[in-house]
Amino acid sequence: MKIYLDVCCLNRPFDDQTQDRMRLETEAIDVFLTTDDKLIRKANHLAGQLNVVVDNPLSWLSGQRETK
C-alpha cells in the first residue's frame, strides 16, 4: 500500500485531472490521510470522481487493523 505524505501537494486529488501530470500524480497514491474535516467532507461528496481514499488517519488505521 502506498501512502501519500508529500505535504506540498495536499490538494492533488482535487486538481484539474484533465492535465496529464495532475492525473498521474493523483493515480500514484492509494490513500490520502488528513485531519481536516472540511477536506474529508468534500472528498466524501466527490467520492465518485476521486480515485483515492481520503480519510482521517485514526479511522483509516482502525479500519486497516480490523481487516487483518
From first to last of its 68 residues, what are the pLDDT tens digits of the chain? 776 665 556 677 788 889 898 888 777 777 888 889 999 999 999 999 887 889 998 998 898 888 76
The number of angstroms, rounded, from the C-alpha of 33 to the middle of its chain's C-alpha atoms is 6
Cα–Cα dist 18/11, whole Å: 15
Q: What stretches of 1-68 adopt beta strand conformation (E)?
A: 31-33, 53-55
Determine the 3-state secondary structure of 32 from DSSP: strand
